[in-house]
């Protein structure tokens, strides 16, 4: 049981307390969401979109005090502070008893590959734990599982209250291993402030998330990611990454440095002889702890680097080689390189989360190697209110690699969907590429499949397994790219699109 004075002292010790009330009510819950209020809640006035009415509503529902950078006339005690983001992280850690300290916590950052790497690690650990009946917890941009909660994710890295609640749930359910994606935004804005990772993994860096509401420039983006090393007891990093000399300097802030890569034989975990066997990828590994051939259960030659990271992490934790090998062979990630084929095998539809310059380049490169000679079309969009540079990058890349681009919706948020699509189209035109603008994403997928002639690959990029679109009036349900891929391939198989001859 806590009281208000406990939080006052917490904030005072970190020099963020500006004023305090005389009252000292009991505190049984903390929240910044006026729809999530319980008896004796301490409410936090958080975020750029905070409105006074949220606080009034919270007090009516049972909030007995509030924390804010500004006082309001609501008849409840106010702890006035100078840094709300820091206070959120401090309060979450304090209220949930620093639960992360009882976990084997692995954090992963990088411009691309975080989700896949997290699931590779989870599958390996699950294989290692299978006789115990336990599973590895995960927080990713796809799903969240903490031993209690099992749900689709809404953020890559949750806000501190949710994140520390997941840690506490994992401890409560006796879940020992916990792997999570750590976004640059989470590192920059303190969502993981104070959290110590057993292992911090760094995959790569590319130009992304540069906008007025994210990172003002590449340097800010890069330095945000580098913060992970100062919060990790061991650093696992990709020697293939750009700016590797700088990365290694920041990695020295961790207790130990472990390297992996496919281009430098001096890497602690070196991957080589990468080849495709049917729909699977096989590669060889050389290291002091683990050696030999490994098979990935998902396609995509670019996934070898993600697998090497998972191998390095798990070997360092003492997980046996058989569990590593078996886990990687079984690993699957919803919405990541999911392949659906027509009955005659002429059309392959690939669903993937590729959504930025690095992931687009890797997706096209891998598909051209795995499906040589096939025509390639792509269905994709760009988000609103962030990462504006993607519109140019993805337009250029699709023009240079796809025979046809179908530009469509992908979380337009408060921006005009048509304006986003036309901006992307202008860059495709600039490079001489072919395109169609179809606002409805399901209809765009149907047209991409219907337009196939001969042997084709249709890439559905950006949404993966997501089942919503972020629009100005809030999230809207979306049936998923996989749903439409299967639906329209079935229509093709039933001859609904006429004779599909080579043009």
Query: Which helix or strand (DSSP H or E) is residue 97 part of?
Result: none
Domain with CATH 3.40.1190.10 in the chain: 99-330
Contact 427, 390 (CB under 8 A): no
Contact 156, 353 (CB under 8 A): no
Q: Tell me the two tokens of residue 355.
A: 């959504």
Query: Which helix or strand (DSSP H or E) is residue 56 part of?
Result: helix 52-61
Domain with CATH 3.90.190.20 in the chain: 338-493
Which residue has tokens 């994710």? 153
Q: Tell me the two tokens of residue 358.
A: 């690095």
Residue 459's DSSP bridge partners are 350, 378
Domain covering 2-85 in this structure, CATH number: 3.40.1390.10
Domain with CATH 3.40.1390.10 in the chain: 2-85
Per-residue model confidence (pLDDT) at position 499: 54
- Candidates 184, 228, 189, 194; CA nearest to 14 is 194
Fold of 338-493: 3.90.190
First to last CA, the chain: 72
Contacts of 19 by beta carbon, 8 Å cutoff, 6+ apart = 71, 78, 79, 80
- Select the CATH number that applies to the domain covering 99-330 from these four: 1.20.1630.10, 3.20.20.10, 3.40.50.2300, 3.40.1190.10: 3.40.1190.10
- Candidates 64, 84, 82, 83; CA nearest to 74 is 64
Q: What is the pLDDT along the chain (503 residues), one digit of tens a residue?
A: 899 999 999 999 999 999 999 999 999 999 999 999 999 999 999 987 899 999 999 999 999 999 999 999 998 999 999 999 999 999 999 999 999 999 999 999 998 999 999 999 999 999 999 999 999 999 999 999 999 999 988 888 999 999 999 999 999 999 999 999 999 999 999 999 999 999 999 999 987 767 777 788 889 999 999 999 999 999 999 999 999 999 999 999 998 999 999 999 999 999 999 998 877 899 999 999 999 999 998 888 889 999 999 999 999 999 999 999 999 999 988 888 899 999 999 999 999 999 999 899 999 998 998 899 999 999 999 999 988 889 999 999 999 999 999 999 999 999 999 999 999 999 999 999 999 999 999 999 999 999 999 999 999 999 998 999 999 999 999 999 999 999 999 999 999 887 555 44
pTM of the model: 0.86
Per-residue model confidence (pLDDT) at position 503: 42
Contact 197, 106 (CB under 8 A): yes
DSSP, collapsed to helix, strand or coil, labels residue 257 as: strand
């Amino acid at each position: 049981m806590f009281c208000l004075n406990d939080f006052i002292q917490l904030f005072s010790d970190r020099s963020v307390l500006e004023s305090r009330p005389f009252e000292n009510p009991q505190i049984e819950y903390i929240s910044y969401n006026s729809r999530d209020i319980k008896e004796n809640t301490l409410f936090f006035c958080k975020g750029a979109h905070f409105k006074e009415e949220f606080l009034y509503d919270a007090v009516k529902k049972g909030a007995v005090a509030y924390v804010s950078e500004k006082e309001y006339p609501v008849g409840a005690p106010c702890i006035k502070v100078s840094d709300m983001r820091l206070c959120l992280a401090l309060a979450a850690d304090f209220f949930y008893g620093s639960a992360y300290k009882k976990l084997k916590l692995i954090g992963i950052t990088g411009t691309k590959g975080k989700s896949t790497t997290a699931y590779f690690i989870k599958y390996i650990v699950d294989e290692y734990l299978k006789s115990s009946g336990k599973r590895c917890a995960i927080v990713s941009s796809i799903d969240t599982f903490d031993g209690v909660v099992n749900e689709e994710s809404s953020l890559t890295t949750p806000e501190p209250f949710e994140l520390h609640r997941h840690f506490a749930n994992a401890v409560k359910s006796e879940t020992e291993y916990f792997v999570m994606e750590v976004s640059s935004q989470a590192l920059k804005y303190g969502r993981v402030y104070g959290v110590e990772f057993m292992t911090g993994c760094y995959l790569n860096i590319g130009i992304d998330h540069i906008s007025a509401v994210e990172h003002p420039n590449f340097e800010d983006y890069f330095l945000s990611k580098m913060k992970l090393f100062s919060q990790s007891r061991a650093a696992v990093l990709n020697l293939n990454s750009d700016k590797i000399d700088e990365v290694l300097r920041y990695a020295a802030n961790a207790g130990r440095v472990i390297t992996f890569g496919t281009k430098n034989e001096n890497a602690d975990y070196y991957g080589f002889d990468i080849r495709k066997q049917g729909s699977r990828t096989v590669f060889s590994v050389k290291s002091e702890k683990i050696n030999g051939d490994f098979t990935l259960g998902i396609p995509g030659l670019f996934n070898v680097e993600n697998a090497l990271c998972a191998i390095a992490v798990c070997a360092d934790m003492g997980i046996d080689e058989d569990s590593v090998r078996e886990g990687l062979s079984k690993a699957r990630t919803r919405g990541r390189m999911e392949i659906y084929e027509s009955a005659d095998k002429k059309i392959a539809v690939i669903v993937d989360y590729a959504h930025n310059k690095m992931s687009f380049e890797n997706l096209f490169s891998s598909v051209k190697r795995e499906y040589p000679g096939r025509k390639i079309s792509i269905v994709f969009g760009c988000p609103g209110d962030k990462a504006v540079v993607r519109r140019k990058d993805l337009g250029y890349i699709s023009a240079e690699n796809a025979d046809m681009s179908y530009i469509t919706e992908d979380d337009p948020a408060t921006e005009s969907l048509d304006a986003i699509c036309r901006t992307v189209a202008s860059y495709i035109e600039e490079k001489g590429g072919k395109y169609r603008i179809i606002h409805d994403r399901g209809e765009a997928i149907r047209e991409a499949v219907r337009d196939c002639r001969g042997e084709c690959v249709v890439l559905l990029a950006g949404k993966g397994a997501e089942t919503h679109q972020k629009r100005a009036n809030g999230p809207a349900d979306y049936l998923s790219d996989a749903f439409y891929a299967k639906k329209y391939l079935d229509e093709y198989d039933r001859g609904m699109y006429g004779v599909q001859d080579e043009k």
